[in-house]
Amino acid sequence: MSGTVITIAQQKGGSGKTTLAVNLAVALARGGHSVAVLDTDPQGSLGRWFMTRRERLGEAGMEFATASAWGVAYECEKLARAAEFVIVDTPPKADSDLRPALRAADLVLVPVAASHVDLWATEGVLDLARREDTPAIVVLNRMRANTRLGGDVTAAARETGAEVAGPALANRIAYAETLGQGLGVIEAPRNAAARAELEALIAELRGHIPG
């Protein structure tokens, strides 16, 4: 068995990398898949979420590991032998330290919040992904529906030549609340809209997963 490795990367901090990683992992696990999460960010937000989840639920429902840049390939290989999906959270940077996480990935997701600054920050990550010959997809995150800024950022993202996921994640307070509770947003009550957008995103991503 060799699982699919999905790396979440973005040069700019605050773009929602950990939020995307957590919610993809939970949605895939709740969908019946075996999942592992790998935290390569020294800040350790994914690890804090995982431990909070264990304390809250007793069992996280997925595997967890940490690694520095040089250990990413080994950890991804090990985790992918046991899990169908390995979700890798990375530090906010675009340099040689990020390359091992891009090289180990089958797919790279680059979250972009509703700001041109976030969009500009994708350039370094997308360039590194191209150099490693790893497919990358921009995921529009924290978007406000029917706003001019959201429309402008969406249009500008497509003009970069990068692949842009059709489904976007909305700017919902529930994402921040559930993250602090060790949960995914689909595990909280009355979040049908969030569940629908995550399911739509995962359905589209499946078409980009090799094999």
Share of the chain above pLDDT 90, in %: 49
Per CATH, is 4-206 categorized as 3.40.50.300? Answer: yes
pLDDT at 194: 87
Q: pLDDT tens digits for 103-135?
A: 999 999 999 886 667 777 778 888 888 888 999
Query: H/E/C letters for each residue in the chain?
Result: CCCEEEEECCCCCCCCHHHHHHHHHHHHHHCCCCEEEEECCCCCHHHHHHHHHHHHHCCCCCEEEECCHHHHHHHHHHHHCCCCEEEEECCCCCCCCCHHHHHCCCEEEEEECCCHHHHHCHHHHHHHHHHCCCCEEEEECCECCCCHHHHHHHHHHHHCCCEECCCCCECCHHHHHHHHCCCCHHHCCCCHHHHHHHHHHHHHHHCCCCC
pLDDT at 120: 75
pLDDT at 23: 95
pLDDT at 171: 86
pLDDT at 211: 52
Q: Enumerate residue ranges in the chain where pLDDT < 50.
A: none
pLDDT at 34: 96
